[in-house]
């Protein structure tokens, strides 16, 4: 005969598992619904739209026609090149300056705290407001920049109207806006490095450059990888200043991929082409992020 359960004995864990699992799903349900509705469903919808071919008066069909039109569009090739140049001109200088300021201002003190506050101030200014401010600074002839350059004999320059230098002006405001933001991450990463490592290196006779190369940068690797991904995403999503300052001009010299997607979807009403550009953009960003993180992880030291 099977043994009867003793009164007051604990219920076997396998009987409580389904109830615990149901409770876990019930608690996660609101988040899962929002995640599916606002993340995964839009991705599926954009992908389906990119693969849908529909002409006026004809039935919709499946195919790669939208991608063929996208890669044949010279405007998309130009915006892709502008985005690559914009990323190269903003990510490396912003991260280098942020790391430099974080190393220089890592010590606590009234003076360093004031300098950190000044560097973080651009983060508090909305990008649209900062762009409006820089429009006045770059105003040809009467702008603040030309005013001071004229004092040293430099002639006025149409900073936002010259196709050769307009993208450089956009890069300048982006570096100014993002450097303080990235510096906060590096300061947090530096605070997590044990000071004993530096003290031991000093005892062994290691100089500042050696300690930076052998201790600080390897231990700061996870932070550098994280901030690099954030900087890469920002190069694609930060187009507020482009719209305010140049509107993608002159001669399409400052047009970015995200603004190109907006133009195709809202101005040209070509949702298929806009969806194809979105899929290509997100796929390229994901591939670059994965490859970059794997490359960084080879030299990253994670503390146990």
Query: What pLDDT sits at residue 94?
Result: 94
Q: What is the mean pLDDT of the chain?
A: 83
What's the CA gap between 48 and 62, in Å, rounded? 9
Question: What's the confidence (pLDDT) of residue 175?
Answer: 93
pLDDT of amino acid 285: 82
pLDDT of residue 1: 45
Instruction: Please state the rounded mean pLDDT for residues 211-220.
Output: 84
Q: Kindly list the domain boundaries of the chain, sorted by start residue.
A: 65-297
pTM, rounded to two decimals: 0.80
Q: How confident is the model at residue 176 (pLDDT cuts 50, 70, 90)?
A: very high
The CATH number given to 65-297 is: 1.10.3720.10
Residue 90 has pLDDT above 90, yes or no: yes
Other beta carbons within 10 Å of 276? 28
Task: Provide the pLDDT confidence category of residue 60 given band limits of 50, 70 and 90.
Answer: low
DSSP 40-73: IHHHHHHHHHHTEE--TTS--EESSHHHHHHHH-
4 has pLDDT over 80: no
- CB-based contacts of 134-143 (< 8 A; 24+ apart in sequence): 134/169, 134/172, 134/173, 134/241, 134/245, 135/160, 135/244, 135/245, 138/169, 138/245
pLDDT of residue 54: 66
pLDDT in tens, 95-143: 999 999 998 888 877 888 888 888 888 888 888 888 988 888 888 877 8
Q: Is 149 exposed, middle or buried (0-12, 13-18, 19+ CB in 10 A)?
A: middle
HSE on the CB side for 232, CA within 13 Å? 18
């Amino acid at each position: 005969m099977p043994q009867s359960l003793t009164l007051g004995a604990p219920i076997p864990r396998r009987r409580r598992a389904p109830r615990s699992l149901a409770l876990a799903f019930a608690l996660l349900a609101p988040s899962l619904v929002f995640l599916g509705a606002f993340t995964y469903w839009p991705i599926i919808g954009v992908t389906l739209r990119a693969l849908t071919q529909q002409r006026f008066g004809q039935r919709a069909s499946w195919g790669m026609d939208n991608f063929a039109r996208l890669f044949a569009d010279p405007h998309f090739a130009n915006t892709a090149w502008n985005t690559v140049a914009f990323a190269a001109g903003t990510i490396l200088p912003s991260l280098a300056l942020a790391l430099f300021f974080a190393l220089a201002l890592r010590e606590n003190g009234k003076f360093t705290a004031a300098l950190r506050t000044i560097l973080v101030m651009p983060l508090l200014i909305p990008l649209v407001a900062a762009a409006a401010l820089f429009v006045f600074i770059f105003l040809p002839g009467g702008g603040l920049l030309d005013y001071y350059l004229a004092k040293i004999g430099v002639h006025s320059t149409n900073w936002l109207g010259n196709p050769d230098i307009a993208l450089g002006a956009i890069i300048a405001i982006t570096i100014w806006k993002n450097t303080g933001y990235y510096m906060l991450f590096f300061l947090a990463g530096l605070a997590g490095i044990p000071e004993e490592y530096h003290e031991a290196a000093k005892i062994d006779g290691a100089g500042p450059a050696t300690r930076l190369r052998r201790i600080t940068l390897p231990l700061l690797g996870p932070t550098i990888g994280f901030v690099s991904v954030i900087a890469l995403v920002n190069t694609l999503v930060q187009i507020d200043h482009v719209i305010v300052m140049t509107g993608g001009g002159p001669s399409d010299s400052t047009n970015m991929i995200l603004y190109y997607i907006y133009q195709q979807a809202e101005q040209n009403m070509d949702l298929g082409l806009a969806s194809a550009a979105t899929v290509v953009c997100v796929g390229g960003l994901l591939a670059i992020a994965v490859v970059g993180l794997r490359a960084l992880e080879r030299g990253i030291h994670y503390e146990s």
